[in-house]
Each structure stands twice: as C-alpha cells, then as structure tokens.
Structure 1
Amino acid sequence: MKVKYQLERNHDSRAFFTEEHFLFRDSLRKVLQKEALPFFEQWEKEKMVPRSFWRLLGQKGFLCPWIDEEYGGLGADFGFSVILSEELERVGSGLMGIPLHCDIVAPYIDSFGTEEQKSKYLPLFITGEMISAIAMTEPGAGSDLAGIQTTAIKEGNHYVVNGAKTFITNGIQADLILVACKTDPKADPPYTGVSLLLVDKDTPGFKRGRQLEKVGHYSSDTAEMFFDQAIVPAKNLLGEEGKGFRYMMQKLQQERIIAAVNAQAAAEDMFRLTMDYIKEREAFGKPISHFQNTQFTMAEIATEITLGRTFLDELIGKHMEGKDIVTEVSMAKWWITEMAKKSAGKCMQLHGGYGYMEDYKIARRYRDIAVTSIFAGTNEMMKKIISKNLGM
C-alpha cells in the first residue's frame, strides 16, 4: 500500500519526545488556538504582545518549564523548550520574545546566578510577572561581542554603567535586562574584561529609547537602551567579573539552536500555507498544483525542509545529552535560516499577486524570515566559526 508522505509525520517520531512532551504540546496548542491566534494580527498592529498573554502562559505552566521545581518550574528537559518555540512560531514570529525570555535569558541566571538571584528572579520568570531581555548588541558592536563599549566601573558597593545598547528584543516591556559590559575597559585581550550585570528597569540612570521600527516581527517590541551614570548594585553582578564573554560563548549554542528551530518551524508553516493555496487556486481551468513548475518547486521546498528537520532533530538530541556541538549548530543556524528565506520567496511566488497582500499570511512570513540570518550571530559569523573549527 502506498503511504502518502507528509512533512508533519516526523514530528511525532522524534526520539527525544515522550508522551509527556505530546501532552504538553497538545495543551499548548489549545491555549494558542484560543488565546493567541484570534488576536495575533491585532498584536502586530499594536506592535506589542500584551503582558496579560505572558501571565496567561505563566499561569498555564508554559514559561520556563525546564527550571527546577524548587523555583516553581517543572524540571523538564529541553524538548519542552523546543515545543514552546515551535508552537509560538507557528502562530507568528512576533512571539519570539517569549522563547528568548525562557531559553536564552533565564538559563544565564540558572547557570551563573547566586542563590539569592535565582530565588528572586526565576519564580517571576515562570509566572510571567517579570519579562526579561538580554542587551549585548551596541550601535557599534554586533557579532563582535569583545568589542562592546558599555562600561561598568565598580565604586564601593555598586557599579556605574555608561553606554548604549540597540536592537534589544523585549526592550520596551522588560523588567530585568541582562547587560553585557566592560568592567575592565583596559583588559588585554579585551574579552577578559567583559562581565554581565542584571539591571532592573527602575535603575537610576537607565533609560529606554524609542521602540524601533522593523521590516518584520512587528509584535516583538524592540528598543534602544541608554545608561548614563546608571547605579547598579554590586550584588547584581552575574557570576564573576571578567567571565562574561566566556558565559556568553557557553550559552550561544542553545541560542542558535532556538534560532534554527524557529526558522525550521517557519519554513514548515510556509509550505503548509502554500500547499493549501495551490490546491484551491485555479488557473486555466485547473488547480495550479497540477502544473509541473508548481510541483517541482514544492518538491524542492519539501526536500530542503526535510533535510533541515532531520539535521536539526539530531542536534537537539545531542544538545539534550549535553554534547558540545558548536560547529554543527553553526551549520544548522546558517543553512536552515537561508533555506527558510529561499522557501519564503518561492512560496510567495506561488501565491502570485495574493502573496504580496497583507491579507495572506505568506506576506508576513516573507518579511519576518529575513532577520533570521542576522540575529544570534550573522550567518557570516557562523561560517567563520565553522571554518575555524575545521582547522582553517
């Protein structure tokens, strides 16, 4: 008997998923179907995901499920984080600030924070009462994290912070910002002077800039941040002075897996949208899915999406086992995001003129996917990492 191939079938056969993962996913889908999908376009227009939605996800147990039970979490594995990212991405890329909060910022506090810091912040991260951001990028420093210019000079029991950050996801709503800064501006090599500080929104001398206008990801609030003689308590140092760069390098593997997960889920959603459209849209008396060009294009997209899914799931499994897979993750981040960008163009083309209309989701997908090759380290940096690790 001939079995019809479906891209979605691999989702239920991933070796790292158990029945608990599927229950979590099904529950999350029901909540998103009711509480996110009907309102998402309005959030895009308002350019903000309401705090009430964050709190709702927290009340339902979907935020930071991996955090230990002693802080209010479920003690779950990374597979639950993958599900959260995938399902939010299927609603829209503008929800990316939630995975950033759960699986990029929170792990820094969990791994390097003091018991006081963990007890103070992690329970609020879980409930959605506190929204977080991470401030690495500066007007003059992006992928070159050792080149940041924001300084934090210790004076007695506090640090005096001066500098500016930009392109900060969750920047408008964030209650707590993890800030990369130079505690030793004269350090040689420069990266040994980088430290991480936890900066509260009410910190004297801290000011948010404007909400930045972006090509896509409208509902993900993105902002500038300014520090003018900002006074940050010394107890807000995360980990040890001078080890911030090392901490960031340790956590970038997971950040880039999340970036690849989001791009993969977006590509799969584009394929589904386009498949539905080409079966319904007729030209010259028949569905456009019957034309050879359409069939060949969809075959190409399906093949690349399947390759991306297979590679990504292998890396997710290795990451859950605690393996160092920086090279492979760099490969996945650049290849999958580029594949998703190509797929967006092809899928929009198959929609014809309707693909350029905001009434069709593929238009949003097309503009949202572009930035994936830039954030979490540009794809050029990914190739640099790969070539370096290949011995070049």
Structure 2
Amino acid sequence: MNPPSSRPRVLLKPRKAQPFYNRHPWVFSSAIERTEGEPQDGDLVDLISHGDHFVARGLYNSQSKLMVRLYSWDSAREIDAAFWQERIERAYQLRRDLLGLVGPESGYRLISSEADGMSGLTVDVYAGFAVVQLTSLGMAKRKDEILGALQAVIQPRGIYLRTEKGIGTLEGIALQDGPISGEIPPPDLTILEHGLRLRVNLAEGQKTGYYLDQRDNRQAVAKYAAGKRVIDAFCYSGGFGLHAARAGAASVYAIDGSEGALQLARLNAEANGLRGIEFTKADVFVELERMLQRGEKADIVVLDPPKFARARNAVNEALKGYRRLQSLGLQLLVPGGILVMCCCSGLVEPIALDEVLTQVANGERRELQILERRFAAPDHPVSLTCPESEYLKCLIARVW
C-alpha cells in the first residue's frame, strides 16, 4: 500500500467536485481530468478539486467506470485496518443495540456497502456465520484486513465468501466462492425470522443465501392474509407465502423457476408445520398466464421478481417486464383484493414504477388504493448522501 507522503492524486474536472464535497462516494471516470503519481488499481488515492483542494480519500480502479470509491473526508485520517474495524463496530452497534437483531439464530445484514460507509462490501450474518461479498477491487485487495476486523468485532462461527455475478469482469476481481475461516456452514443451517424457522443455503442460495431485506415486508403482507387465497410469485425459499400461511391464509400457491429454491421452501413449510401451500416449479409469467386461462382468481397476489435492470440501459426493458407482471396480477385479483408489487432494481425509480402501474390499472379498468409504501428492513439503511442505496420498493395496494 502506498505511504501518505507518496499517495497518488486524482484531479477532478472543473465544476465536478460538489457531489463529492457533499459526500457521494462514487467518482466515475467522466468526472476525472487526470491522475498524478501513477496509482495502481486498488491503491489509496486523494481526490482533489480542480482548484487543488483536498476533497476525500478513497480506492482507485482504472478497470472500472466507477474509478474511485470514497471512504473518508478527513485528510488526517488514514484508511487502514483500524479504520475498517471502526466502521464494522459502528455497523454492529446499529444491528445489536438499536435494532435488536443480533442473536444465535438471527439473520441480519451487518454491512450494507455504501449505507455503512464501506462501498464494495456486503456482509450478512446467518446464525453466527458471516457471508462476505467483496464487489470492488480495492476492497478485495484489503480482504485480510477486513476479515480480521470482522473476526475481532463479531467472532463469527465461520466466514463464507460469495461472489456477485458479473462483478469479476466489471471490477477485475478474481475470487472464488467458499469457506475462508472457521466452521463449515452445515447444510441445514437455520435462522429465525419473526417466529418462522427458515433454512438458508449459503453455498448455492441467491444473493448471500436469503433475501433479508424483505423480512419486515413479509410480515406486513401477512396481516392481510387470514382466510385469503394467496399467490406468491417468485417465492424463492418460501418468503411471503410461508408468512401468509402461518397468518391463516386459506391457500397459498407459490411459484418459482428454481427447483433448489422450492426444495428449501418445502422443507421450511414442513419445519414450521404449515399446510395449504402448493409449490410449483414454472416460469412465473407462463404460469400466471395459465392460471388466467383456467379462470383462477386470488385475494392476494405477491409479485417479487429478481432484479430486472442491472445497468441503466436495461431500465426500459425492465419496465416492460414490470408492466406485464402487473397486468397479470391485476387480472388474477378479485375486486377488493391486494396487490403486492416489489422491485429490487435500484435503477428503477419509484415514480417510474408508479407510472407503469397507473397505466396498467387504467388499461385493465381497475382502481387502486395504495395502503402501504415499504422499503428494505432497517438493517439495510439508506445513506442520505448516496440515494442509490435506497433500492428496494414494496407497494401494497387494494384493487377494485
């Protein structure tokens, strides 16, 4: 790592410094005029305004369009092992002391990247096992420092590394999934979520093994479910459908395209003694069309698809996908039914999703009353200076 006396500098173009003075952590190549000192990918650099003033300190990567990720706005503060440990301790205090999520059977997000001041790092904890995702080259090069700090703060039973699809190409990272310290996670690893016992597959499950961000939204939807016929589309390992069944739903029809996810869902239903859930492996769009053709109806339709837009140029195509889903959902709902529409694509703004839903509702001649606008659980906080960290939208609406 480069010493402070020889730290390279990244100079901004004229009139490009204000977002970074305002503590936005992402510096794209389009804002940069030149570099001084020949920084290597993964090096610490100082970000300098066009007027030659210190702005912030961060990690450099010429291979990425996101060329500098910023972590400190204090010119006297070094970014070292002590810095990472302090950030992890601060994040842990939130989850333990304020949110009360820490426990031997808990599942919670410990580090939520930009929202916890650690851009390029995500850490989820499942029953004492920490699952780490490093999504920036600079953070990957500091893996040992970060793992050491993580070990010191939470003393996990084990640490498991998961990689994000496509990030190796985008960031120039070469990492492999697998256990890296401590115990090997057991195949029947189980967490407790609002009273439900849920198996989590750290090796093969989606994201880091489970969708922790929807924890409170699943409970919110369940309060409408007593005596209702529920469709849980993109159900993954049970999610909304399990909570609805426990709340007294008359029936739950859960659909997912992954047999591995459905096997977990069936195990979860059995472990919690839940009946009246039918799990179906199918393309969700195709299955919802089939249900319409069969003349089936539901009281609650939950639409929780995977991320449709991974890049800005995919947003329009993503909105077409949401439009089709919403149309199918509205056609399946009885008058007075509940539509739950989720979107985990951070690039799709809430207003765009609302506009599409308004157009679809008008086209289907249905009226909607918004009951709740919900977001990710609070262990996935939002950084005020990085609005992109607010990615999950969950709309609960009554349909006539």
Which is greater in Rg?
2
Which one scores higher on RCO, CA 8 angstroms, separation ≥ 6? 1
TM-score normalised over the length of structure 2: 0.25
More helix by share: 1
More strand by share: 2
